Structure 1
Amino acid sequence: MPAHILVVGGTGMLSGLVEALAGDGGRLSLLSRHASQTAGGFDCDYHDAEAFNAALAAAVERSGPIDLAVAWFHTLKIAAPRLLAAQVKGRLFQVLGSATADPAHPDRLGRAAAVAEGLPACEVRQVVLGFKLEAGGSRWLTNDEISAGVLEAVRADRPLSIIGQVAPWSARP
């Protein structure tokens, strides 16, 4: 595993991922609103660009360059995704909501990847969260399924991974 791993938003649905990565060794940093409750955590709200950038700088100062980042941003229309991409000297796994796979908006994956445009040291990988079909309907993924799927995506190192399914689009919950 890389020397410095940084996870954004790892106290909720990605908490299982954080636990697994912590067990792999290396230095782990966590940025979220409640990260200080976890070893290696820095509290910040990614909607606050100044606070987010300060937390990133503190993580890099403490643990060195970011070799691997996993980030779940609810929106890319803020400064934080680009600020993170500028600090990554390796792979950045973007965890993206199912709306990224909406066939009516085929440009969304490309727009998400653009956060690293012009930053040759940052290699973007994308993980799209889908849903599960079950007898009688469909449901969103559980936190455990999301964490396990993102961990598998990081270990497989594919440019695009889909957890669950995104088709047929009309079957989503």
Structure 2
Amino acid sequence: MKKHALVIGGTGMLKRVIESLCKEGFHVSAMGRSHDHFAKMMEEISAPAEVSFIQADYYNPVQFQEALIKAVRDRGMFDLAAVWMRSDASDSFQWLLQYIAKDDKFTELYEIKGSHASREPFKGLDTSSLKWMRIILVFRFEREKARWLTHEEISEGVLKAISLKASLFTAGVTEPWEKRPS
């Protein structure tokens, strides 16, 4: 069976992550709310045969859980997960951590967070079945003016963190904090 990756939030800013994982031999299960966004992404990437869409909303915990259980039943537990979920969906994220951790297969889970996560402590988790790491997306300076990262820069940062297996990785800069874009 092929290596299996989960990407949540991949139909937009993480589409290059999906494409790269496919090129590395993964079958990617991409979760999103909109089939239209997924279809558009599929037109823009190579190796679309290696991607399956999971239409689910992580704000709907029952739908989220059922969709992930089905993906695992169909393609096996995830070897890798790159997960962009908003902070107010913490119940679904905690369920995902527990679901992966109870399986015997080892999974690398990269939680992708926005700039405010750079102000929070992070311990992660490293067990026999799960290594939970964090990627923080912040900002860059261009001609002394701060701007948010582009989708391409976000994907580059996520892929770099995955290649380094970094427990905590920051894509962009966090200081000076008061200069971050509004």
Aligned to 2:26: 26
**Residue of structure 2 in register with 1:165 after alignment:** 173
Aligned to 2:82: 70
For 2:92, the equivalent position in structure 1 comes to 80
Identity %: 31
Distance 1:85 1:76 in 2: 16
Could you say what the CA RMSD is over the residues aligned between the two structures, in angstroms?
2.0
**Equivalenced residues, count:** 163
Looking at structure 2, the residues matched to 5 and 87 of structure 1 have their Cα atoms a distance apart, in angstroms, of 15
Q: Is the CA contact 1:9–1:73 (under 8 Å) kept in the aligned structure 2?
A: yes
SS in 2 for 1:158: coil
- Does 2:149 match 1:132? no
Local SS of the residue matching 1:69: strand
Q: Is the 8 A contact 2:28 2:52 kept in 1?
A: yes
Structure 2 residue 63 is the aligned partner of structure 1 residue 51: yes
| Superposed displacement of residue 17, structure 1 | 0.8
- Rate the CA distance shift 1:94–1:152 in 2: closer, same or farther, 3 A: same
Residue 92 in 1 paired to residue 104 in 2? no
**Paired residues of 1:130 and 1:162 also in contact (CA < 8 A):** yes
Q: C-alpha displacement at 1:101, in angstroms?
A: 1.2
The answer as to whether partners of 2:59 and 2:89 remain within 8 angstroms in 1 is no
Q: What is the CA–CA distance in structure 2 between the aligned matches of 1:143 and 1:171, rounded to whole Å?
A: 21
Given residue 87 of structure 2, which amino acid in structure 1 is its aligned partner?
T
Residues 79-102 of structure 1, C-alpha deviations (whole Å, 9 max, x = no match):
211122123332110001001113
Residue 13 of structure 1 deviates from its aligned partner by: 0.8
The 1-side partners of 2:26 and 2:14 are apart by: 18
Structure 2 portions without partners, runs of 5+? 43-50, 101-105
Of 72-81 and 122-131, the range deviating more from structure 2: 72-81
Question: Which has the larger displacement, 25-34 or 39-48?
Answer: 25-34
Q: Which moved more, 1:158-167 or 1:23-32?
A: 23-32
